[in-house]
Amino acid sequence: MMRGGVVSRNLPAAIGFALALAIGAYLHARTADRERLADPPASNSYIVNQTICLGLQAADANGACKPVGAVVGSMIMVQLPANPASWTIASLSPNLVQEGRIDRLPNPGRYQGTSELYQWRFLATGAGDATLVMRETPRTISPSGTFTYTFRIR
């Protein structure tokens, strides 16, 4: 009786302990797999930021950026300096599908007047031309207040 009572009293603790070890072992196995991953996959990302737009801005009220070629199934990553300025997606072609949330990368001291990089990810889902208009509030980086990215997806 007494032994049965000890076992039943400690059973939840034992189960919890075992569960924690199992979770840890699973996470460890995933980490170890990464360590064993000798050959990282090739990138399929096209990364653009403000540099592909600045320089064209003065003469272009629409904030046009240099056109980018990409392939269907690739990821298009857009990085823009932010905080305190903020960016919103003003328009997006249907063959670009936003993936996940905005990544916020620390960027203190790098670009005057901003402390973060915002990063958006878009999956190129269909061939054809695509546009992405990013609007800045307040306007600090884009002379026109917008950057209009154009993509030729094949």
Partner 1 sequence: MARALVGFVLGLGLFAAAEEIRRVVPIFQPDDGPATFVEPELRRSQNGVLETTLELKLAKHTVAGRVFEAATYDGKLPAPTLVVKPGDTLRLTLVNNLTPPGQPLPAQRVVSLDDVYERSMNIMRNMHHEDTDAPVHAAEPPPDPQAQLYSNLHTHGLQVSPAGNGDNPFLLIKPGETFRYEIPLPADNPSGFNWYHPHKHGSTAKQTWAGVAGGIIVEGDVDRIPAVAQATRHVMVLQELWMDNTGHVPSALPVPVGGMHMFSTIPPVPSDILYTVNGVYHPTLDIRPGETQRWSIVNAAPHRFFDLTLDGHTLYQIQQDGITLAQARPQQHILVAPGNRIEVIVRGGRAGHYRLRALEYDQGHPGGPMPEDLMATIRVRGEPLTEPAPLPSALLPYKDLRNDPVAAKRTVEFKGNTFVAPVEFFLDGKPFDPDRDDATITVGTTEEWTLKNDDFMQHPFHIHVNPFQVIAINGRPVADPIWWDTFPLPQKGEITIRMHPRPDVTGRTVYHCHILPHEDNGMMSAVSLVAGK
Question: Applying CB under 8 A, which residues contact partner 1?
Answer: 9-10, 12-21, 23-25, 28, 32, 35-36, 38-40, 42-52, 54-55, 66-69, 74, 77, 79, 81, 103, 105-111, 117, 119
Minimum distance of partner 1 from residue 37's CB (angstroms):
9
Helix (H) or strand (E) holding 130: strand 128-137
Minimum distance of partner 1 from residue 132's CB (angstroms):
14
Nearest to 49 by CA among 138, 128, 114: 114
Minimum distance of partner 1 from residue 111's CB (angstroms):
6
The span from the CA of 72 to the CA of 16, in Å, is 47
Of 42 and 59, the one with the shorter C-beta distance to partner 1 is: 42
Length of the chain: 154
Nearest to 86 by CA among 117, 131, 48, 49: 117
Is residue 71 within 8 Å of residue 124, measured between CB atoms? Answer: yes
The span from the CA of 96 to the CA of 110, in Å, is 30
Minimum distance of partner 1 from residue 152's CB (angstroms):
10
| Beta-bridge mates of residue 76 | 46, 122
Minimum distance of partner 1 from residue 48's CB (angstroms):
6
